[in-house]
Chains A and B, each alone.
Chain A
Amino acid sequence: MLRQPRHRMAAGLIALLLLLPLGLGIQASRAAGVTTLTFLGPDFDEWVAFVKVANEIGKGMGIEIKPQYLPWDDVFQKALIDSKSGVRTWDYVYIYNTWVPGLSTAKAILPVDDFLSSPENRTALQPNDFIKETTAGLQLNGKLWAVPMLAAPYMLGYRSDLLNDAGEKQAFQAKYGYALAVPETYKQLMDIAQFFTRKKGEMLAGKALDQDFYGVIMANKSGGFLFHRFEHILIAFGADLIYNPKTMQPTANSPQSIAAVKYYVELHKYMQPGTETVTGGGAERVMASGRGAMAMDALDNMLSVLPVAKLSQIVGKVNYALLPTQVPARPHANVGDANGLAFYALTQHKAEAYKLATAVLNTQGTKAVMKEYPALVPMRTSVVNDPEVRSSYPDVFAAMSLMLKGKPYTVFIPPLKEWIQTQDIYEQALSAAMSGQQSVEDALNGAQAKEVELFKRAGYIK
């Protein structure tokens, strides 16, 4: 007879223990009168800076932001699975331009356009201030899917001290028959990379090298890094981004594509060894250790390492240029890269999330984020042209000015739902060609067959 009340008491205690933290949480939140927004993003410095600034700005608005940092590609997966499962935890989700088709189709994020119906909201966002060359990647079906935060244009970082060294200039002229300068063409890039690839003990700018030195530093790890670096060359050589969007025919083994891969395989000889296992950050560390003449990477990747005294031995020795040109019709060709802040579709704080996002990512807010993260490449014209930014961040200003004035040929990853598979097939072929597993032609013919099979299965072609 006594058992029943004991059971009840135990059940009551367990329920109390389970509900207590919840109750206390609600109590604390209410007591403070603060709305807490949650952010799902990558563990990158720029987003840590964003959260810090957002919390400072949010204080006056009664809003705070709590981040959940994950490895970069896990963010996509988490946002996707959580939204499919009906999880309402998130308010903001970091987004990368290639994720837009997936997350928008899966209805995991809201289009920013949903907020722009009121003049007040439109004024807060200032959409016309965004640099169009960089925001196009965050647009799909005529809608903007994230508030642009960080541009990541691919550029060439080069050692200005070496390219301007009189002895090196003389030697280069003697060997190649033209003057050593910032490469304007991919032929020149190859020559310069070859010229500066030297063994330990050889001379470089009048000094004996105490370690091997490489012409160009690249990140070629499979899983996206490799293709992401190569895609600019693919476009520059006049090829499609793997398929022709008009006919939907894969073109992995087109003559232009074969030429681009052959070029990259040749350039690979002048890259640092072990490049196949290196990510963007790793590659820039090698460059920062003074072991390379050039680097082709996202501008913010380079800016976050090369000019930072505690990380770099080449501070003040690196300048930035647009990528070279191969086909004249595609000057300085590059594939656009954009990062933004998206609104999670199941957010329970729509209005607050929009209010804080527009406050942090307006001109003043972006400048505040830049103070925390000086490598930030802003996506607003007003920030790039701001006198304070011009004087405080000369590298960013110079590089962005080149982008704006140089009008490089820019394309974006197509909104193809099978894009990740499409890219993976091509990247495997590229990797096989680079490692000597297959000839360039065999690798790309194999890739073409797989792409055709994929496109047939998807119903794009018969």
Chain B
Amino acid sequence: MGVSWATLGRGRFYFWLMTAPAILYLIVWRLAPALYTLWLSMNQYNMVYDTGPQWNHFQNFGRIARDGGLRESLSLSVEFAVIATAAELVIGLAAALFFDTDPPARNLLLGIFMLPMIMAPVVVGTAWSTLFNRTVGPIPYIFEVLRGPQIQWLATPATAMFALLVADAWEWAPLVALLLFAALQVIPREQFEAARVDGASGWQLFRRVTLPQIAGMVLVAAGLRVMDAFLELDKVFVMTGGGPGTSTQFVSMFVYKQAFQFYELGYASAVITALLALLAVAYGLYLRGYGRALRPADS
């Protein structure tokens, strides 16, 4: 039976009544701010000094094209997102494979492993900032005890980026593990048994049986993590403040500074609009690739 107004309730009134909160939410909290941001992106508006937004055509977008700082931030964000996602995929996959072997107290271990994921990113940033702190942090202390190099983790460009990657991997590898573990759980065990009977090695089992069947989920996890890591702000804000220099000033931090430190709302809106367009294109390509990856070869 097809869906009709009548099947939705006693009448249209109930249909609208039930859907109104969702529609209202979408309009008020999603669509309206998005449209306002789009409009603001074509205005000069410094919240402190301008009495109101002033239409300046597409000057903000012209500024984006010339802004070396933004280009640097974009490049850092891409670098961070790619490396963090790769690390999280490797760690997450390893953890998922481990949990799939059904170790003793698996559920308890799984629960503990998932804990970082449910922590607020600011808390994660604060915790890792303390761990890496040169004066009171345990990580520099361990290096000292082991007579290793005295590294100023958050004070040099390379180590600050590394520290952020470690913190991000610690927080989000569990999500990847959870997704891949779920995918592993639905692979029929008979396939492994049959392959073993045929003399497949452990690596061949993984390469020929496991990986093809979880490839879709790997792509989903990678897509989710790349987009999220690309917009990382909280941990950067807490751990490095974008420094030293501009070595960890990712694009979100750049936008945050423009909007909430410099109050350049017009320019910040333009950057966000441009980023949104960029992400939409990237996501479109990803969905296209994802569809192809899942499609059977002979279809």
Contacts and interface: CB of A to CB of B under 8 A. Distances in A.
A429 B247 CA distance: 11
Interface stretch (A18-26, A56-64, A118-126, A436-444): A436-444
Interface in B53-99: 63, 68-69
A286 B152 CA distance: 17
A420 B245 contact: no
- Contact-residue bracket for chain A: 35 or more
A273 interface: yes
A305 B245 CA distance: 30
Contacts of B63: 457
Interface string A110-142: 000000000000000000000000000000000
Interface in B211-248: 239-247
Give the residue among A277, A417, A457 with the most B Cβ atoms within 10 A.
Answer: A277
A221 interface: yes
A105 interface: yes
Nearest to A74: B260
B262 A421 contact: yes
A272 B68 CA distance: 33
Interface in A426-442: 428-429, 431-438
B69 A420 contact: no
A165 to B, nearest CB: 25
A223 B247 CA distance: 14
A102 interface: yes
B243 A273 contact: no
A273 B245 contact: no
B244 A80 contact: no
A433 B152 CA distance: 15
A276 B135 contact: no
Interface in B252-273: 257, 260-263
A317 interface: no
Interface residues of B, number: 34
Given A222-B242, A432-B245, A434-B244, A277 B48 contact: no
B176 interface: no
Give the residue among B48, B140, B249 with the most A Cβ atoms within 10 A.
Answer: B48
Interface SS of A by simple majority? helix
Interface SS of B by simple majority? loop
Contacts of B247: 432, 435, 437
B150 interface: yes
Contacts of A77: 260
Contacts of B245: 428-429, 431-433, 435, 437-438, 443
B13 interface: no
Interface string B116-140: 0000000000000100011101001
A457 B56 CA distance: 13
Interface stretch (B153-161, B178-186, B190-198): B153-161
Give the residue among A102, A429, A432, A437 with the most B Cβ atoms within 10 A.
Answer: A437
B248 to A, nearest CB: 10
A450 interface: yes
Nearest to A436: B156
A434 B247 CA distance: 12
A263 B47 CA distance: 37
Contacts of A432: 244-247
B43 to A, nearest CB: 15
Contact of A431 (B133, B243, B257): B243
A424 interface: yes
Interface in A259-276: 272-276
Contacts of A438: 245
B36 interface: no
A224 B129 CA distance: 18
Given A421-B262, A435-B155, A222 B241 contact: yes
Contacts of A450: 68-69
Contacts of A435: 155-157, 243-245, 247
Interface string B96-113: 000000000000000000
A274 B135 contact: yes
A423 B222 CA distance: 38
Interface in A49-95: 77, 80-81, 84
A420 B133 contact: no
A437 B157 contact: yes
B203 interface: no
27 contacts: A80-B263, A106-B47, A222-B241, A222-B243, A222-B244, A223-B241, A273-B152, A273-B155, A274-B137, A274-B152, A275-B155, A276-B155, A277-B133, A417-B49, A418-B262, A421-B262, A424-B261, A428-B242, A428-B246, A431-B243, A432-B245, A432-B247, A435-B243, A435-B245, A437-B245, A437-B247, A438-B245
Closest 10 A/B residue pairs (Cβ): A432-B245, A274-B134, A435-B244, A222-B243, A273-B134, A276-B155, A437-B245, A222-B241, A102-B48, A431-B244
Given A84-B47, A106-B49, A273-B150, 11 more contacts: A221-B241, A273-B140, A273-B155, A274-B152, A277-B134, A278-B135, A424-B261, A428-B249, A435-B157, A437-B244, A450-B69
